[in-house]
Amino acid sequence: MSRPSIKSYLVQAIWNWCTDVGLTPYVLVKVNDNCVVPEEFVEDGQIIFDISTEATHNLTFDDREISFEARFGERALRCRVPYRNIAGMFPQEEPNKGMMFSPNSDEPEEEEIRSTPPKPVFSRVK
Domain boundaries, the chain: 6-97
- The answer on pLDDT for 5 being more than 50 is yes
CATH topology of domain 6-97: SH3 type barrels. (2.30.30)
- The answer on pLDDT for 119 being more than 60 is no
Q: Rounded distance, CA 81 to CA 11, Å? A: 12
Q: How far is CA 13 from CA 17, 99, 118, in A?
A: 6, 11, 28
Whole-model pTM over 0.85? no
pLDDT band for position 36 (50/70/90)? very high
- The answer on pLDDT for 108 being more than 70 is no
Phi, psi of 91 (to 5 degrees): -80, 135
Q: What is the pLDDT of residue 104?
A: 65
